[in-house]
Amino acid sequence: MLQEFTKALGISKDLLYPAKLYGDNQSANALAYNPEYYSRTKHTHGRQRFITEMVEQRVIEVTYIPTRDMVADMLTKALQKDAYWRFMRMLG
């Protein structure tokens, strides 16, 4: 549905894909590219398989970002004042 919407707007797929997915969990990021350890992560199999398929199709690109640089944390966690203002500056 989103693809149809962007096509109607005349936005090229080359500008949208691969979409970057940032994560601070190195193990989860590694699983997206190397499904070798699925037998050890059965509880996340469905979700992880979907991410792996999207990576294989080059729809998304999973990238590691250190926790201290994860700007989204300001929307999901209580932060100390200095971290809050640092993230605010990062957002512009």
Residue ranges of domains in the chain: 2-66
Per-residue pLDDT tens digits of the chain, which is 92 residues long? 567 787 788 877 776 778 888 888 888 888 888 767 656 666 666 667 788 888 888 888 999 999 888 888 888 889 899 999 999 999 88
**Contact criterion met (CB below 8 Å) for 41 and 31:** yes
